[in-house]
Structure 1
Amino acid sequence: MTSLRYSEIDVFSDTPYRGNALAVVHDADGLSSADMQQFANWTNLAETTFLLAPADPQADYRVRIFTASEELPFAGHPTLGTAKAWLDAGGTVGPGGFVVQECAAGLVRVRVDGDVMAFEAPPLTRYEAVAETDLQHIAGVLGIARGQILDSSWLVNGPRWIGVRLASSDDILALRPDPGKLGDLEIGVVGPCSPGGETQFEVRAFFGGDAVWEDPVTGSLNAGLARWLTDTGIAPPQYVVSQGTVLHRLGRVHIGVEGEAIWVGGHVTRCVAGTVRL
């Protein structure tokens, strides 16, 4: 075993420990895929990332992203948290205030402004209507009538999200999904907040598979939702999402659409620094 630098980062909240936690292992080039997967399973966080030397000369670093059960080509809060960990370990921001991350989905730009960071969302690899039979099942999973689903879309950008739009934030917060029906679905649900508040939309994210649970704050989902909601005229080019409310978190995701680019950002804070033996 070797001692490696280790960080835990809180992402998408300006109040530490109220966002989404990320574990980061630095200088992980000597670890095997099996080593990485086993450690990610052990941390039992939404994701654990491993910092590696870049293969692409345009990148500042390379990252591999693991859930407790699988590797992902891209994920949102791991992108911001890994960028923060890399900077805290001595990395420097490049021209224009950007860091360039290399991951399995390609190169991802991260805009840095102190402890506020935003990633440029990669393009969706599946962006189409959801079949009616799937929507009937999803309504059953969420414990609502099919008629409460106003619209839906596949929003795949690494994770295999299905976006579902309901009428209000109250409807979102009232959801009590049935874990026994979720299967391997990844469902993101969005609804508008009352006008005049701090946030414009409430979001919740539900994962199936080997572990059934709710994600506190989700960058990849909000990236997909931003593409869909702005394309359909539901959301303005700039807005703020609240997520994690039911889990007693204070997640805030800031969305900015600049031409074809979608930026997804929020506060990022290092909460734990030390070493890990792997």
Structure 2
Amino acid sequence: MSRRFNTLDVFTHTPLAGNPLAVVHDAAGLDTAAMQTIAAEFNLSETVFVLPEVAAGHRADIRIFTPGAELPFAGHPTVGTAIMLALMDGLAPGSRTEFVLGEKAGPVPCRVVRHTDGRAEATFTAPRLPAETGPAPDAAQLAGILGLEVRDIGFDGHRPGRWGAPVSFCHVPVRTRAALDRIRVDTRWFAETFAAIGEDHPAIFAYSRETVDPAAAFHARMFAPGLGIAEDPATGSAAAAFAGTFARFDRPPDGTHAVSIEQGFAMGRPSRIDLGVTMAGGVVTAVTIGGGAVVMAEGRLAV
């Protein structure tokens, strides 16, 4: 048996930039162990499996795997899969469509737009609002994990915290982009420090206000060695959780706010994530994640 697959570069409109993604279209008969093995074979940040059984009202139900673990939800797989399925459905330039993807975290409403020049973008509503997931390691511990100085941690009142929507990340504010570029992760200290606070699959989303693109609000890097991801070029689930950090420390007024996050520059894979945060009564009431994607390859798996 062979199974169709595509690869895409996500959170970009430029081939060989953004975050690579594999989408396996024919997942009938694959169990969890087989999906995990195939994801390890692709060795990308995430691989999506489109399931044969589809819940009522869903365009597709999907499962998402890193090389080391399954995730209940992830951003760049949602954006990339939504665009891939819309293109397979024949979405014409100058058109848009809406549908729901079923993920383990819950139903995810998606909107896909194909511009007249052929570029495609997807925006989805996060299945859960950001919530704190526990205490963060202190600044000295985080500086040690990242190979930085304690003085590099924090700016404008921003402090480290752990947030999930629902996937948990430790958000670490870093004073300068130069310090972000200096990060060298100590994977052993990383695992030991987070194990001590009960985090089995820790991930760090380090960010700064100093950006490459003046139109961006934040510059970020993400590290999750326990999930088999040494560094990720663009992390939509971390951006969804970051809505909680943004709301707490920047205190935006009620209304919807567009927050552009650039990521992947240190890897030579520049990416842009469009985070939308809706505030009402001083709290986050909705989160959206958007971005582009380009189809890079198609083929068949011999399994």
Using structure 1 for the length normalisation, give the TM-score: 0.89
In structure 1, distance between residues paired with 2:267 and 2:212 = 23
**Match of 2:215?**
198
Q: CA deviation at 1:109?
A: 1.1
In structure 2, distance between residues paired with 1:221 and 1:15 = 22
Alpha-carbon spacing, 1:42–1:239, altered in 2? closer, same or farther (3 Å): same
Q: CA deviation at 1:124?
A: 4.6
Alpha-carbon spacing, 1:277–1:91, altered in 2? closer, same or farther (3 Å): farther
**Match of 2:300?**
275
In structure 1, distance between residues paired with 2:139 and 2:129 = 20
Q: CA deviation at 1:137?
A: 2.2
| 1:171-250 alignment, distance < 5 Å | 171-183=179-191, 184-193=201-210, 197-209=214-226, 211=228, 213-233=230-250, 237-250=257-270
In the alignment, structure 1 residue 159 sits paired with structure 2 residue 156: no
Identity of aligned residues (%): 32
Matched residue SS, 2:57:
coil
Q: CA deviation at 1:88?
A: 2.8
**Match of 1:117?**
122
Give the AA of the match of 1:190.
Y
Using structure 2 for the length normalisation, give the TM-score: 0.82
Matched residue SS, 1:15:
coil
Deviations 1:9-49 (A, max 9, x none): 11001211100001111021221112111111111111111
Residues 72, 158 of structure 1: 8 Å contact kept: no
Deviations 1:146-172 (A, max 9, x none): 343221221223433111112233332
Alpha-carbon spacing, 1:249–1:210, altered in 2? closer, same or farther (3 Å): closer
Structure 1 residue runs without a partner (length 5+)? none
Give the AA of the match of 2:175.
A
**Match of 1:39?**
38
2:150 to 137, 146, 149: 146
Deviations 1:193-221 (A, max 9, x none): 26981312101001122636111111111
In structure 2, distance between residues paired with 1:67 and 1:158 = 16
Residues 133, 168 of structure 2: 8 Å contact kept: no
Deviations 1:206-243 (A, max 9, x none): 11226361111111111111232134326781121110
Please say which of residues 199-208 and 122-131 is displaced more in the overlay: 122-131
Matched residue SS, 1:171:
helix
Considering only aligned residues, what root-mean-square deviation do their CA atoms show, in Å?
A: 2.5
Residues 67, 229 of structure 2: 8 Å contact kept: no
